[in-house]
Amino acid sequence: MVDYHAANQAYQYGPSSGGNGAGGGGSMGDYMAQEDDWDRDLLLDPAWEKQQRKTFTAWCNSHLRKAGTQIENIDEDFRDGLKLMLLLEVISGERLPKPERGKMRVHKINNVNKALDFIASKGVKLVSIGAEEIVDGNAKMTLGMIWTIILRFAIQDISVEETSAKEGLLLWCQRKTAPYKNVNVQNFHISWKDGLAFNALIHRHRPELIEYDKLRKDDPVTNLNNAFEVAEKYLDIPKMLDAEDIVNTARPDEKAIMTYVSSFYHAFSGAQKAETAANRICKVLAVNQENEHLMEDYERLASDLLEWIRRTIPWLEDRVPQKTIQEMQQKLEDFRDYRRVHKPPKVQEKCQLEINFNTLQTKLRLSNRPAFMPSEGRMVSDINNGWQHLEQAEKGYEEWLLNEIRRLERLDHLAEKFRQKASIHEAWTDGKEAMLKHRDYETATLSDIKALIRKHEAFESDLAAHQDRVEQIAAIAQELNELDYYDSHNVNTRCQKICDQWDALGSLTHSRREALEKTEKQLETIDQLHLEYAKRAAPFNNWMESAMEDLQDMFIVHTIEEIEGLISAHDQFKSTLPDADREREAILAIHKEAQRIAESNHIKLSGSNPYTTVTPQIINSKWEKVQQLVPKRDHALLEEQSKQQSNEHLRRQFASQANVVGPWIQTKMEEIGRISIEMNGTLEDQLNHLKQYERSIVDYKPNLDLLEQQHQLIQEALIFDNKHTNYTMEHIRVGWEQLLTTIARTINEVENQILTRDAKGISQEQMQEFRASFNHFDKKQTGSMDSDDFRVLLISTGYSLGDAEFNRIMSVVDPNHSGLVTFQAFIDFMSRETTDTDTADQVIASFKVLAGDKNFITAEELRRELPPDQAEYCIARMAPYQGPDAAPGALDYKSFSTALYGESDL
């Protein structure tokens, strides 16, 4: 230390020896200019000079008193350089060269130069400040020198978030006083005039010393005196200014205020260290709280989605058929609503859930936290399995609905056909049993008997012709039974009645024939002409009945070819009508001939033809009916032809759109695959490009909606096949969902890469280099590579790998032992290898600072040092401290810190 007492003797002023103390530039060469700390050209404002003298004097004395001395006049007491050298030794803790003991001016200049050289050695450029000015008592230069010393030794090292010293000190003041009303620190002059900022700084660190709520903004003198007195009495900060000096000045001196405030900063430096530790802990806790929130969101979304799947699958697996087409079509419409309205949001939820899961795992990896393991049954794989089960049930359900509608349509057609044929047959059999049971042959004449025999023969011919219809009725009933027709009971009852009646008619016919043949031996006369009429009239009558039945027969077709086949068959039938008309006229000619013979021979006929009930009037009436039914059949067939042409148009319309949308989706899937491999530019550029690409895909959605509308028209028309395209609506929907999911996943991968890059401090150039290296060795361009290619990739980046080291790396990048390494896993590995992250040890060290170097911390300390929500978060999760030095309420911060990083023991 400078021998102040030995050298502090009166001496005479002498001529300057020429030393100027400018010193070397050093790393702080432009320090003075940077802080804009001194005006070398203008004189100090008198009020400011007064404030600086008072403040700088008090500041110097706060250090000189440690050496047992002080100064009274700042521009006089430093002129010999002795106290100046002593001051520098005290504040730096270093020894300066031995001062010269002479009392001459040259000795003083040399001593001051030694002090200035020491200042310059600390990297401070002293602009225009020379030893001569100090020795001559130049107040401006002396104050400038002291301000330089204050900047270098009291303010320079104050830096918050990489700011300059002045900005760092200002930012510290702003943060400390932010919670206080009426305090708004924006500078080191006006912001301190009312005294509240000084009081707020003290109250923030020592609240028991200040009753802040009782201070008034309109009483600055009281506020300033209160703060200065408390600081001097309790904080060992000497009073460096008078309240009146500050209040009565329009703008207090900035350097004086900065000097005073820096004393507060150093007085509370221990608290600053605690604040730094608290900030680190808050950062770690914030990450943990956010991750827990994401975990809770995942669990909730996963539960909701799985519950929806659980409720939906039984509905899709319900295969209980309905009795009518209308009821089944309603089921089909409900299914369409499910596909259009209910399922798409769930597809988005599933995709978002996977994205959230991947993002959460990335954040956990980046913060050195253990991977998130969802609760049992809520893994992504569980959701995928449930979704796969849902889609299987969905596919089977749609197929069942369509098959059931076809079955019911077939059943309705068969049932109507059964009722029509049964009604015709029942109408024909009406009265036949009574006729067959009639014993009219017992009183008939011979001619009557012969007529009865011929009539019975005609009936038998007619009966045989009706056998085919009865067999058709039975066959239709059997088919309805096999197809599980809902009204099979009534159909079977009616069919059985018809069959029983048919058997009875057969038996009665046989009995009557026997009776007539027995009587026939006694009868001879027969009218051949009537007999011929009856024999030809009966088949013709049956043909007309069959023709009317066919003309009224219902039909169902599904293609244009089928309806054209029916039209062709109908045209062929119409071509037979001229021959049928000639047969009708021939039959009627026989009847006319019989009447002519009877009339010409004056024979009185007993009435109608005894051999048949088919009169000419019946033949003409039925022929007229046939003539009426033909154009109706023409109209029905043409209507169906128009319908099938419309259906064909719907098929072609759907196929035309599907044959565009299907290949477009496939092309976009391939383009996404190439984009994910060939992406260039910054990650943000890639992300913007992918999002623009995603928007172009979403903008294509109206084409899919148009296809859905066309598909609905096809289903409403009950069209079940389409030979014009290989794409079904199901293929298009699945492809679209895969396309949206793939682009969303690709975007999420880039977002995770950005998250990794920013969290790990990876530069854009490093990220591009990682991508280029990975793509080069990803020979199959699949976005992943096998272990052999990955080994070559690592070697190319400079790794020297043995088997043990490579196996260790593979266990990190491929924890599931799939044999493949993805780009994200490669990036995570490289980021861990090249960057630093918070560790459990760092968090423990931070808690130890807050605990005052104790092995435990109390709830009161946590609430004092941390924000309320994070303090309560720690208190709720920290276990009681069990060490030998435990105090009441002690909490174990070490176990808590290791648990944050998934470690069981420090």
What DSSP string describes 569-616? Answer: HHHHHHHTHHHHHHHHHHHHHHHHHHHHHHHHTT----SS-TT-S--H
Tell me the pLDDT band of 31, cut-offs 50, 70 and 90: very low
pLDDT at 691 over 90: no
Can you tell me the mean pLDDT for 384-407? 83
Tell me the pLDDT band of 903, cut-offs 50, 70 and 90: low
pLDDT at 676 over 70: no
Both ends of the chain: CA-CA distance in Å? 47
pLDDT at 19 over 60: no
Predicted confidence at residue 190, as pLDDT, reads 92
pLDDT tens-digit map of 497-516: 889 888 888 988 888 888 77
Predicted confidence at residue 222, as pLDDT, reads 94
pLDDT at 848 over 60: yes
pLDDT at 185 over 90: yes
373-to-290, 359, 732 alpha-carbon distances in Å = 16, 14, 35
Predicted confidence at residue 842, as pLDDT, reads 81
| pTM for this predicted structure | 0.49
pLDDT at 702 over 90: yes
pLDDT at 18 over 50: no
Q: How far, in Å, CA of 775 to CA of 785, rounded?
A: 10
pLDDT at 650 over 80: yes
Predicted confidence at residue 385, as pLDDT, reads 92
pLDDT at 210 over 90: yes
Kindly give, in sequence order, each residue whose CB lies less than 8 Å from that of residue 646, ignoring residues fewer than 6 positions away: 717
Sign of the Cα torsion 757, 762, 763, 768 reads negative
The least confident of 321-325, 478-482, 856-860 is 321-325
More confident residue, 555 or 112: 112
Q: How far, in Å, CA of 234 to CA of 224, rounded?
A: 15
pLDDT at 837 over 70: no
Can you tell me the mean pLDDT for 15-42? 36
The least confident of 25-39, 60-74, 429-443, 843-857 is 25-39
Q: How far, in Å, CA of 305 to CA of 356, rounded?
A: 14
Q: Quick one: CA torsion of 824, 826, 827, 828, rounded to 10 degrees?
A: 90
Phi/psi region, residue 73 (left: phi>0; alpha: psi -120 to 50; beta: rest), is beta
Predicted confidence at residue 26, as pLDDT, reads 35
Tell me the pLDDT band of 215, cut-offs 50, 70 and 90: very high
Closest by CA to 769, choosing from 821, 814, 826, 820, is: 826
Task: Estimate the crossing angle of helix 269-317 against helix 343-366, to 10 degrees.
Answer: 150
Contact 854, 866 (CB under 8 A): no
Can you tell me the mean pLDDT for 347-354? 88
Predicted confidence at residue 223, as pLDDT, reads 92
pLDDT at 9 over 50: no
pLDDT at 391 over 80: yes
The least confident of 128-137, 580-589, 784-793 is 784-793
pLDDT at 29 over 50: no
For the chain, helix, strand, coil in percent to 5 are 70, 0, 30
Can you tell me the mean pLDDT for 743-760? 81
pLDDT at 526 over 50: no
pLDDT at 316 over 90: no
Both tokens assigned to 154: 């009291």
Predicted confidence at residue 220, as pLDDT, reads 94
The least confident of 22-31, 559-568, 746-755, 780-789 is 22-31
pLDDT at 744 over 70: yes
Q: Which string of DSSP letters, residue by residue, matches 667-710? A: HHHHHHHHHHHH--S-HHHHHHHHHHHHHHHHHTHHHHHHHHHH
More confident residue, 39 or 594: 594
More confident residue, 9 or 541: 541
Closest by CA to 190, choosing from 214, 146, 220, 213, is: 220
**What are the b/e assignments for 855-867, b being 16+ CB within 10 Å?**
bbbbeebbeebbe
Can you tell me the mean pLDDT for 793-817? 79
Q: How far, in Å, CA of 291 to CA of 493, rounded?
A: 72
Q: How many C-alpha atoms does 300 have within 13 Å on its Cβ side?
A: 6
What percent of the chain clears pLDDT 70, i.e. is strictly above it? Answer: 88
Predicted confidence at residue 187, as pLDDT, reads 94
Predicted confidence at residue 648, as pLDDT, reads 84
Q: How far, in Å, CA of 847 to CA of 862, rounded?
A: 9
Can you tell me the mean pLDDT for 407-428? 82
571-to-551, 552, 560, 788 alpha-carbon distances in Å = 12, 15, 16, 76
Predicted confidence at residue 13, as pLDDT, reads 26
The least confident of 126-130, 306-310, 690-694, 756-760 is 756-760
What percent of the chain clears pLDDT 90, i.e. is strictly above it? Answer: 14
Mean pLDDT of the chain: 81
Predicted confidence at residue 803, as pLDDT, reads 80
Most confident of 410-424, 605-619, 657-671: 657-671
The least confident of 546-555, 639-648, 753-762 is 753-762
Radius of gyration of the chain (CA): 55
The one-letter amino acid at 639: E
